[in-house]
Amino acid sequence: MGFWTRLTHHFHMLRIGALTLRNGLMMAPMSGITNLPFRRIAKRLGAGLVATEMISAVGLARRQEKTFRYLKSDPEERPLSVQIFGSDPQVMAEAGRVAVDAGADLVDINMGCPARKVIKTGAGGALLRSPDRVRAIVSAVRAVCPVPLTVKTRTGWSADQPVASDIARIVEDCGADAITLHPRFVAQRFSGQADWGIIAHVKSQVGIPVIGNGDVWSPSRALDMMQQTGCDGVMIGRAAIGNPWIFREILDLDKGLNPRPPELWERRKIILAHFSLLTDLMGEERAAKVMRGLLLYYTKGLPCSSRFRGAFTGINDLDTMIAAMDAYFSLLTGSSGIPILRPDPVAHPTSAEEQS
């Protein structure tokens, strides 16, 4: 099956409020990663739901132009989840209203981000220390949000404050349609192991869908999470960076097929498509800078990739990226050269951190 073929699914169809997803396989919001180009690629490769980067509620409420750029969307990626963060219930409500007016199909509230710049404002993971504020925020956003409303959270602030079940019940009581749980404490950031048993426990405590997130590094791990926790869907974060095929591979495995890692030609085609979409969004010069970092992920695990990292740092436009890739992929194929694949009309339509 080619990259551009629309995928059918057998991974659970999932209903969140009035929204029905083609499957319960979701892309996590990630700073600097889940912009419009990456979302479109993830959707083409099978994700049932894609999400914006985490967006400041203050910025949306104040209609700041820089913040509004995060809301740029395309019909191809729909349905789209817009994730907002903040600590003031009324500001969060206004941000939710703005997101919906801009076309959000689902609004997600971040209550788990461990980043210091977010925590110091009382938002993200800091909210897990204030159940009353959690209640006020979800209630305020729910009152003005006509589309499905979800919350993404963690187990609690620290090991002596395991509040996931309490937060999940509050979220459900306040009218949220689903909850996503990353079963680490905020203080852990991304260290240690995600405790999937907490996902199973939360699932037993609420009636709304529970989405599992954390330590899903391979297709088999996604199915393991579903089986071990009974969760309704799985959210993939860092494992999808430079590896958007993970969504397709999970769907294949769920159908009983062997997951199909991309062949070199497909890997090159998607890299070029990604660059093309980034260029549409931000211009060729900025796109080239972004692709330098992404190429390290796209080639991770391939033979001799470390030898070509220096070449990647010299990329400043499409031609230099093609030259660097041609040199590298020629080495991998053992040939003197491979045809240059420029973005065709189909591929060129008119410090990454998972945030909770």
Above 50 in pLDDT, residue 7? no
**What is the reported pLDDT for 307?**
73
Q: Tell me the C-alpha distance between 222 and 205, whole Å.
A: 22
Task: Give percent of the chain with pLDDT exceeding 90.
Answer: 72
Which band of pLDDT confidence, cut at 50, 70 and 90, is reported for residue 355?
low
Concerning whether 231 is annotated as a catalytic residue, the answer is: no
Q: Tell me the C-alpha distance between 124 and 119, whole Å.
A: 6
With the C-alpha atoms ordered 202, 156, 227, 210, is the resulting torsion angle positive or negative?
A: positive
Which band of pLDDT confidence, cut at 50, 70 and 90, is reported for residue 354?
low
Above 60 in pLDDT, residue 5? no
**What is the reported pLDDT for 330?**
82
Q: Of the given ranges (126-130, 237-241, 249-253, 301-305), which has the lowest mean pLDDT? A: 301-305
Which band of pLDDT confidence, cut at 50, 70 and 90, is reported for residue 20?
very high
**What is the reported pLDDT for 19?**
97
Give first-to-last CA distance, the chain, whole Å.
34
Q: Strand (E) positions, the chain?
A: 14-16, 19-21, 25-27, 30-31, 50-51, 55-56, 80-85, 106-111, 149-156, 178-185, 210-213, 233-236, 353-354
**What is the reported pLDDT for 331?**
81
Above 50 in pLDDT, residue 130? yes
What is the DSSP secondary-structure string of 192-226? S---HHHHHHHHHH-SS-EEEES---SHHHHHHHH
How many helices and strands (H and E) does the chain possess? 14, 13
Above 60 in pLDDT, residue 338? no
**What is the reported pLDDT for 353?**
53
Which band of pLDDT confidence, cut at 50, 70 and 90, is reported for residue 351?
very low
Mean pLDDT, to the nearest integer, of 48-73? Answer: 96
**What is the reported pLDDT for 328?**
84
Strand 14-16 relative to strand 19-21, pairing: antiparallel
Average pLDDT, the chain: 89
Q: Tell me the C-alpha distance between 165 and 299, whole Å.
A: 40
Residue with tokens 């749980």: 181
Q: Return the ∠ at Cα 323 (arms to 317 and 324), rounded to 5°.
A: 90
Which band of pLDDT confidence, cut at 50, 70 and 90, is reported for residue 345?
very low
What is the DSSP secondary-structure string of 240-270? GTT-TTHHHHHHHHHTTPPP-PPPHHHHHHH
pTM for the structure as a whole: 0.89
DSSP symbol at 21 = E
Q: Amino acid identity of 310?
A: G
**What is the reported pLDDT for 347?**
36
**What is the reported pLDDT for 332?**
81
3-class secondary-structure state, position 126: helix
Residue with tokens 């404002």: 121
Between 104 and 266, the more confident residue is 104
Which of 6-15, 127-136, 255-264 is predicted most confidently?
Answer: 127-136
Which band of pLDDT confidence, cut at 50, 70 and 90, is reported for residue 356?
low
Closest CA to 40 of 273, 252, 265: 273
Which band of pLDDT confidence, cut at 50, 70 and 90, is reported for residue 277?
very high
For each of the domains in the chain, give its residue range(s) and CATH number, in order of start.
Answer: 14-254 (3.20.20.70), 264-350 (no CATH)
Mean pLDDT, to the nearest integer, of 67-90? Answer: 96
Cβ pair 211, 176 in contact under 8 A: no
